Amino acid sequence: MENDSKDSKNQPFKPAFDKVDSRKIQRVDFRISENVEVSFDARGTPITGNVLDLSYDGLSLATKNIFNHDQVKFKEFLFTITFPDGTHFQKKGVVCWSSGFKVNYTRMGIRFTNSDTEQEKIQEDYIKISKNLPIIGYLYKDHFYFEKTIFSLTKVSHSFIEVQLYDSDVIIYPGLDIELLLSLQTANSEKLVAKVESVLPGDQNKMVIQASIIDWGKHIESNIINHLMQNPEVTMEDLRKCGFKVMSVSNNFKFRYVKTHGQYLKVLELRHKAYVNANKVSKDKTIEEMAAPLDYKSRILCAFHGNKLIASAAVSFPDNDTILDTERGVGKEIRRILPDKSLCVEISRLCTDPNYRRGDLLVRVFEHIYRIFASSGKKYIITSTDKKLWPIYKGLGFKKTGLEYDHPYLDNLKHYIIKIEVEKGTLASDISFARWNYLYRDMTLHMLKTGEIKLNRFQFLKIRLFSLIGILMNIRKQEKY
């Protein structure tokens, strides 16, 4: 061989096991004719060759260059690997062994060493994927003919992901753009596109890839958010801290009514937490002081994330002898706006967990309140709100009655008495077409289906027509699957 030297100190060398670990993962094999090239500078001597096999932990190469083996023996260099399409990446590595290979070739084995490109890249807040609610998917191996490998998503934020590959004979390197198909409900097999930032060793010969998000696609982000919200340990605020825009997640919550004293105590605790956070009561108030006068005869609606209470509202059905919660601040003036109290339901003590605000939870709570209201045969909902929350109620279709008072149970915070008519929901009366479709359509259709409300033929046709147009216009189009 041209590369052999009579100098005993300049001979091919075997691996020194204190210098190199035994190979633990599979490598991708290449023929010399495939022209996957590798180059490095051996202390002033440029060496180029062909990659024979490659993985994230190392490679072997064949070169025709003549060089002094002692120059490279157990030394670290920066290797550039270049593919036929011009894409390339660089890795630092140690030359662990060399040997003869065919005529005029020398073969070398390289073990990649840890470098800046291989350190953990996720420095921001992220969600760790629960093993009880895994997200799996697959990606294709670009250097094989129609082969794909399975991965599991382990960490995620809006701008970064970490996945663990279950197959190691795949070429992944920093700077590579990869397409990931997740096993989530997505349209037309949408792919998540990401740029690889680091490749790390995983457990049991697996690979861990950390990558920055390039393109979420149209639906993938919202599907991941809703999947993550299946875990009660993940809150809406947790997701926002990770950069996600959290809006439509209420399908992950369940809505029930208080049945036990223990559940009622949880409601009082939530009221205390919510009102203190909103500066509506002093933190010195006791849990018992959160009880409302009509709680004992109200249906208390609760929203749960798993078994965690995240929202509640008391719904009462007064008669003319009942003193309403809103009445306590205005006395007999209530008769001016509500001559017959038996025609209304009253909503009081609506509250939400601070970690579950600024999404669609409140709208879903109101949908369930509307269901109680519409199926009860009553004509009005009456409640009160402060200045801060009035825009939300106004958006729901409520109107001010002209009465206001200082709330005796909420640190005398000024409240406006407001009301809404049932026909806004059941008949789409005195409300804009778009707002009715957004707020009332789906629950109205559900109640028609279950027989909870009855409409005459004309009213039914109007609701069906409004609904059809709203769905075609994609106004809050909710789909189960």
Task: List pLDDT tens digits, range 157-182.
Answer: 999 999 999 887 888 888 889 999 99
Residue 289 to residue 312: CA distance in whole angstroms? 16
Note the pLDDT of residue 86.
Answer: 87
Residue 3 pLDDT level (bands cut at 50, 70, 90): very low
Mean pLDDT score, 204-213: 86
Residue 288 to residue 409: CA distance in whole angstroms? 12
Residue among 393, 225, 394 at smallest CA distance from 313: 393
Residue 381 has which token pair? Answer: 């909902």
Judge whether residue 127 has pLDDT over 80: yes
Judge whether residue 136 has pLDDT over 60: yes
Mean pLDDT score, 414-440: 92
Q: To the nearest 10°, report the CA torsion of 26, 32, 33, 35.
A: 80
What pTM, to 2 d.p., does this model score? 0.81
Mean pLDDT score, 309-331: 91
Residue 104 pLDDT level (bands cut at 50, 70, 90): confident
Helix boundaries (H) for 340-450: 361-375, 390-396, 423-426, 433-439, 441-450
Residue 20 pLDDT level (bands cut at 50, 70, 90): very low
Residue 436 to residue 58: CA distance in whole angstroms? 62
Note the pLDDT of residue 2.
Answer: 42
Quickly count: other Cβ atoms within 10 Å of residue 167's Cβ: 18
Domains of the chain: 28-113 (2.40.10.220), 118-241 (2.40.10.220), 253-421 (3.40.630.30)
Q: 3-class DSSP state for residue 110? A: strand
Q: 3-class DSSP state for residue 400? A: strand
Note the pLDDT of residue 6.
Answer: 47
Q: What percent of the chain has pLDDT over 70?
A: 90
Note the pLDDT of residue 94.
Answer: 92
Note the pLDDT of residue 192.
Answer: 93
Of 213-217, 257-261, 332-336, minimum mean pLDDT range: 332-336
Quickly count: other Cβ atoms within 10 Å of residue 189's Cβ: 7
What are the CB-based long-range contacts (under 8 Å, 24+) for 239-245? 239/127, 240/358, 241/125, 242/124, 242/125, 242/126, 242/127, 242/156, 242/157, 242/158, 243/124, 243/125, 243/157, 243/158, 243/159, 244/157, 244/158, 245/158, 245/221
Residue 348 pLDDT level (bands cut at 50, 70, 90): very high
Note the pLDDT of residue 47.
Answer: 93
Judge whether residue 1 has pLDDT over 50: no
Residue 57 pLDDT level (bands cut at 50, 70, 90): confident
Quickly count: other Cβ atoms within 10 Å of residue 396's Cβ: 23
Note the pLDDT of residue 123.
Answer: 61
Q: To the nearest 10°, report the CA torsion of 276, 280, 284, 286.
A: -90
Mean pLDDT score, 7-28: 58
Residue 313 to residue 299: CA distance in whole angstroms? 8
Compute the half-sphere exposure of residue 165: CA atoms within 13 Å on the CB side of its CA.
26
CB–CB of 431/397 below 8 Å? yes
pLDDT tens-digit series, residues 447-464 = 999 999 999 999 999 999
When computed from its CA atoms, the radius of gyration of the chain, rounded to whole angstroms, is 33
**Angle, vertex CA 232, rays to CA 162 and CA 222, nearest 5:** 55
> Which CA distances in Å does 272 have to 125, 284, 404?
29, 10, 23
Mean pLDDT score, 385-403: 92
Mean pLDDT score, 370-383: 93
Q: To the nearest 10°, report the CA torsion of 169, 175, 179, 185.
A: 110
Note the pLDDT of residue 121.
Answer: 60
